Amino acid sequence: MDTVTISSKYQVVIPKAIREKWNVKPGQKVRLIIYGNRLEIVPVRDIKAARGFLEGMSSTIEREAEDRV
């Protein structure tokens, strides 16, 4: 787990290992989400980049009746 410090301008530096793992680039947008007593930072990805990410996923799963409204 990495620890960061909030600057006097309320800025945070994302550690290099995390930037590389999540492929975060300068100028990229992120979304801040308050979840319980946590603050989560989620990279905003271009919707075009998501095209095909479910390819090969089976759609033949058994569904419960309350799954359909």
The confidence score (pLDDT) of residue 8 equals 96
Block mean pLDDT (10 aa), the chain, length 69: 91 92 90 92 82 78 70
Residue 57 belongs to some domain of the structure: no
CB–CB of 39/32 below 8 Å? Answer: yes
- pTM (two decimals): 0.56
The confidence score (pLDDT) of residue 69 equals 57
Structural domain boundaries enclosing 14: 10-51
Residue 21 belongs to some domain of the structure: yes
Residue 30 belongs to some domain of the structure: yes
How far is it, in rounded angstroms, from Cα 2 to Cα 13? 11
Residue 66 belongs to some domain of the structure: no
Rg of the chain over all Cα atoms, to the nearest angstrom: 18
The residues, any chain, with a CB within 8 Å of residue 30's CB and separated by 6 or more, are 24, 41, 42, 43, 44
The confidence score (pLDDT) of residue 51 equals 78
Residue 69 belongs to some domain of the structure: no
How far is it, in rounded angstroms, from Cα 14 to Cα 1? 12
The confidence score (pLDDT) of residue 67 equals 61
Please state the domain count of the chain: 1
